[in-house]
Amino acid sequence: MSKQIKIKKLGINVSAIVLLYIILKSAITFGLITRYHQGIIIFIMINIILATSLNLATGFLGQLTLGHAGFMAVGAYASAITSIEVRALLPNMPDFMLLIISLIIAAIAAGIVGVLIGIPALRLRGDYLAIITLGFGEVIRVVINNMRGLTGGAQGLTGIPRIVKFDSVFWVTVFVVLILYRLTHSRQGRAIMSIREDEIAAEAVGIKTTHFKVMGFAFAAGLAGVGGGLYANYLAFLDPNTFNFMRSVEILVIVVLGGMGSLTGSIIAAIVLTIMPEALRSFADYRLLLYSFLLVVMMIFRPEGLFGRREFSFDGVKEKFFNKDKIQEKTNIS
């Protein structure tokens, strides 16, 4: 791809994002979007972070993990506790700075837990890895539940500074997706994908598989932690039992629906699956029933999800409509 095309692509993407921000921000400022809908938008973005980070581990690296909620929990509590303590120490610190510090701590904490769990767990393959991550996720939940002094235990943690608003969530989400995009479109990203394709072959061409498995896992965990931090400092209340296996599965459904290996897929699926329960309020009882049915049907009839492994790109759409003779199966990496 020539430099001009690259710059043009970048320009389109940046403009689209800025435009989106302006639209949403104005809508909020001018009271066009209710508080309630604002909340939905914020949850959409948090889910985007959770889904794209899980996609790194499951879609790109090919390791099914069922404990993603655990990483979210670590990040949530780390951010909450940090913001509580720092605010008490330095009450005049501006919100955004407090948030940045808390989120960094959240990412590091979750990332470290990711490495600690990853190093032993990633020695296992397939089913066994999935199960052990499930186990770890549950252990994290129980530990949080029982560390009442630090985390408030089953009673929950309150008094968390409410320093998350639309702006912060928006830009943090953009940042997270950017990191994931850049990581997957680099030589490290290719190494990670080679592990998904064929781990033995990857080793046979000189890829240090253990290193990249742990790296992918740690990134996924750390970014999930960021999502958790945003969640904590938005809701201002944490209940450890919301970070259970069901939560991990809900995130997984988003990733599967969007396509394992497609960041845009996760974004779109996150939007759909966050809005859907709200839109179908009257069907609340049937929500999980529908989800699980969807999951089974998807795996049987369209396991690659909406986008498969491809990313949506504006010039990809252009190409399809205007350059019909140039159509071949492309992945958006080279």
Partner 1 sequence: MTLLEASNISMQFGGLRAVDNFNLSIDQHELVGLIGPNGAGKTTVFNMLTGVYKPTEGDIRIEGLSVVGKKPYQIVKAGAARTFQNIRLFKDLTVLDNIKIAFHNQMKYSTLTGLLRLPGYWKGEAEAHESCMAFLEIFDMGEYADTLAKNLPYGKQRKLEIARALATKPKILLLDEPAAGMNPQETHELMETIRFIREKFDIAILLIEHDMNLVMNVCERIVVLDYGKIIAKGTPEQTRNNPDVIRVYLGEQVKTC
Partner 2 sequence: MVLFLQQMINGLSVGSIYALIALGYTMVYGIIKLINFAHGELMMTGAYFAFLIVVTSGLPFLIVVPLSMLLAAVFSVVIERIAYKPIRKAPRISALITAIGVSLFLQNLAQVIFKADPKIMPELIDKRPIDIGPLQISTVTLTTLALAIVFMVILEIFIKKSKPGKAMRAVSEDKDAAILMGINVNRTISLTFAIGSALGALAGVLYAITYTQVFPTMGVMPGLKAFVAAVLGGIGFIPGAVLGGFTIGMVETFSRAYISSQWSDAIVFGLLIVVLLFKPTGILGRNEKEKV
Catalog residues that contact partner 1 under the rule CB under 8 A.
179, 182-183, 186-191, 193-194, 197-198, 200-209, 215, 309, 328-331, 333-334
| Alpha carbon 135 to its chain's center | 20
Binding of partner 2 by 284 (CB under 8 A): no
Measured from the CB of residue 39, what is the shortest distance to partner 1 in angstroms? 31
How far is 90 from 67, CA to CA, in rounded Å? 35
First to last CA, the chain: 8
How far is 61 from 72, CA to CA, in rounded Å? 19
Binding of partner 2 by 291 (CB under 8 A): yes
DSSP state, residue 303 = T
Q: Which is nearer to partner 1, 281 or 326 (CB)?
A: 326
Q: Which is nearer to partner 2, 6 or 125 (CB)?
A: 125
Q: Which is nearer to partner 2, 205 or 327 (CB)?
A: 205
Binding of partner 2 by 123 (CB under 8 A): yes
> Vertex 329, ends 323 and 334: CA angle to 5°?
95
**Which of residues 24, 131, 236, 276 is near partner 2 by CB under 8 A?**
131
Cβ atoms of 138 and 245 within 8 Å: the answer is yes
161: its two tokens: 């500074």
Residue 163 interacts, among partner 1, partner 2, none and using kind-specific CB cut-offs from 5 to 8 Å, with: none
Measured from the CB of residue 309, what is the shortest distance to partner 1 in angstroms? 6
| C-beta neighbour count of 234 within 10 angstroms | 20
Site string for partner 2, 191-210 (x = CB under 8 A): ---------x----------
- For 61-92, letters b (16+ CB in 10 Å) and e give bbbbbbbbbbbbbbbbbbbbbbbbebbeeeee
Residue 293 interacts, among partner 2, partner 1, none and using kind-specific CB cut-offs from 5 to 8 Å, with: partner 2
CA distances from 251 to 6, 8, 44, 98, 190 (A): 32, 33, 12, 28, 24
**Which of residues 164, 176, 252, 263 is near partner 2 by CB under 8 A?**
252
Q: Which is nearer to partner 1, 204 or 300 (CB)?
A: 204
Rule CB under 8 A: which residues touch partner 2? 58, 62, 64, 66, 120-121, 123-124, 126-128, 130-132, 134-136, 138-139, 142-143, 145-146, 200, 249, 252, 256, 260, 285-286, 288-289, 291-296, 299-300, 303
